[in-house]
Each structure stands twice: as C-alpha cells, then as structure tokens.
C-alpha cells in the first residue's frame, strides 16, 4: 500500500530510536512487536475513514460498452484538480480489469474515501459489487460523470444508488441548463441562474425527483425542445454516503472548460465532506392515497 499516512510512519521511525537506546539491541524482537502493535492500532486512533487527510479518490475508467475518447482528458483534469486542491485530495487510477480486481475488492477499497466513475460503461467486473454499494452507504463517496449512468444497466442497487439510469441521447446540441441550487459547492460557481453548454445530452429512466437533490436541470427536451423535466446533475445521500453525478462530460472541450472543472471540483469536495451543501430533495414524495378501510 502506498498510502502516505504520515502519523504511522512517524510512529514507526520514532519508537525504535528511544526504545533501542533504553532497551539495547537484544530487544529487537520486542521493538518489532511494538512497531507492529502501533501499526495495527493506528486505524482506531485515526477514527472514521472520512477524517483522513488528504482524502483519496480512486478514478475508474474501465469500459465494457462504448469508450469515450474524452477518458484520458478526464484523467488529466482530475489529476489537475487534485494538484490544485492544496492537499485536500489525491487521485489514483483503475484502468484495467486487473486494477479493478485489486483496488475495488472490500480490502482494496480501504485506503480510499471516494470512487469516481470517469465515463465507465457496461458491466464492470467488480470483485464484489454488492460490497461496493455497501461501502458507499457506510459513509464513503461516489462521483460519476456522464456515462457513469450508462454503467450497470440491470443492476438495480447501482441504479438506485446513482439515482438515474441512461436512457438515450440525441445529436450533440447546445442547451440552457438551469442551476437549481446556487449555493451548493458543485453549482455555486455559475454566475447566472442559467448557462449554455454544447455537449451530448443524456436523457434518463429510473429517475425520481424525490430521491435526489437537483443541481442542474433542463426545462425542455434537449433536442426537440418540448417542455419537460430533464435532469442534468444531482446529488443524494446513500445511507451515510454521498453521491454526486453530472451528465455533462462527453466532449473533451467540456472537460477542459473552467466552469466544468469548478462544477466537478465542488461536487468532489461536497462528496468528500470537505464542503457543506444541501442534499435534501426539493420535491417531496407524493402522499400515498389513503387505503380503503
């Protein structure tokens, strides 16, 4: 494991020095035992996983369906956002089935605070996908861009965790997004209540307003402009975990745009618990009709 967990390293470096002086070299075995003890006790002293600093994000770019050519741009942008985060978070990558097997097993996920699906598609060969959903609900973060919603069709726990499932898209088009929450970290950088973007715009199925906190929305169909509710970005709580999703991010120039990077960075910071933001659904579940006596 390469996790730079400095307290543990300091402990390991400091203790042998004074112990060796006071106990002598004969106690090497005892020293080793103490080091091991210190190492095993560290996680308990460190407390909850989300209190780690810097927080660690695993960026997944494995695809089993369509492969977006903006994936390498996405990786570069996320690496840049981590560098610009002043030590708040770092990124690591899973690009192959082998890396997925190693880094997304229940054991492999332990060093991470968040997983970011960077235009993933299809049924990813996760070692234990149920354990991954539980890992999120236990207090970790999930962030998805664009085709993250074109992933795991037919695996209901993933779709429910994400809050929506890719249905279709038309030709790339300019749309006017309405900013639903102008205070949320993911959307507070938009200077106006609406903004225009040219991208491939997804439409969704299995999306329910009462299950998400809306962030960006279209009030008409992206292509034929028929009025309606077309979600673009949202966040939600999954148990104790946080989920942020933006449907934008098909095109490389979108990834490279300053506004998109601020949108992502804010969403990441919110999901990691570094910045507060409302996550309550704006639309309440409709009251169930009273059952007949």
Work out whether 55 is an interface residue with Zn ion (CB under 5 A).
Answer: no
Q: Which is nearer to Zn ion, 112 or 234 (CB)?
A: 234
Burial class (CB in 10 A: 0-12, 13-18, 19+), 143: buried
Residue from the set 113, 180, 200, 238 that interacts with Zn ion by CB under 5 A: 200
Chain-centroid distance of CA 292 in Å reads 44
Q: How far is the CB of 247 from Zn ion (least distance, A)?
A: 9
Q: Is the C-alpha dihedral spanning 184, 190, 191, 193 positive or negative? A: negative
Q: How far is the CB of 252 from Zn ion (least distance, A)?
A: 11
Work out whether 150 is an interface residue with Zn ion (CB under 5 A).
Answer: no
Q: How far is the CB of 263 from Zn ion (least distance, A)?
A: 17
In the chain, helix, strand, coil percent, each to 5?
35, 25, 40
How many residues interact with Zn ion (rule CB under 5 A)? 2
Mask of contacts with Zn ion, 244-283, x by CB under 5 A? ------x---------------------------------
Count Cβ neighbours within 10 Å for each residue of 38-59 and write b for 16 or more, e otherwise: beeeeeeeeeebbebebbbbbb
Q: Which residues pair with 231 in a beta bridge?
A: 217
Stretch that binds Zn ion, among 105-113, 137-145, 156-164, 192-200 (CB under 5 A): 192-200
Q: How far is the CB of 114 from Zn ion (least distance, A)?
A: 22
Q: How far is the CB of 66 from Zn ion (least distance, A)?
A: 7
Planar angle of CA 283, 285, 287, nearest 5 degrees? 130
**Residues found near Zn ion in the complex (CB under 5 A):** 200, 250
């Amino acid at each position: 494991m390469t996790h730079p967990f400095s307290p543990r390293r300091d402990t390991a470096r400091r203790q042998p020095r004074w112990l060796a002086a006071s106990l002598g070299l004969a106690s090497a075995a005892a020293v080793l035992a103490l080091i091991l003890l210190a190492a095993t006790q560290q996680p308990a002293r460190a407390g909850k996983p989300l209190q780690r600093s810097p927080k660690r994000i695993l960026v997944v770019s494995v695809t089993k369906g369509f492969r977006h050519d903006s994936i390498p741009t996405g990786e570069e942008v996320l690496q840049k956002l981590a560098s610009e985060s002043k030590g708040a978070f770092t990124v690591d990558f899973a690009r192959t089935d082998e890396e997925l097997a190693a880094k997304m097993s229940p054991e492999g996920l332990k060093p991470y605070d968040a997983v970011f699906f960077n235009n993933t598609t299809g049924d990813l060969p996760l070692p234990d996908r149920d354990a991954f959903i539980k890992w999120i609900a236990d207090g970790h973060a999930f962030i998805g861009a664009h085709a993250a919603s074109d992933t795991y069709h037919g695996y209901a726990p993933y779709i429910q965790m994400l809050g929506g499932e890719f249905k279709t898209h038309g030709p790339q088009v300019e749309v006017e997004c309405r900013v639903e929450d102008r205070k949320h970290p993911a959307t507070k950088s938009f200077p106006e209540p609406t903004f225009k973007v040219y991208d491939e715009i997804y439409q969704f199925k299995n999306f329910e307003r009462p299950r998400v906190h809306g962030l960006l929305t279209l009030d008409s169909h992206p292509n034929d402009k028929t009025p309606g509710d077309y979600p673009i970005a949202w966040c939600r709580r999954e148990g104790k975990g946080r989920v942020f999703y933006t449907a934008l991010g098909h095109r490389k120039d979108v990834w490279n745009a300053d506004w998109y990077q601020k949108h992502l960075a804010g969403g990441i910071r919110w999901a990691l618990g570094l910045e507060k933001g409302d996550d309550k659904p704006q639309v309440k579940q409709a009251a169930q009709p009273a059952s007949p006596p």
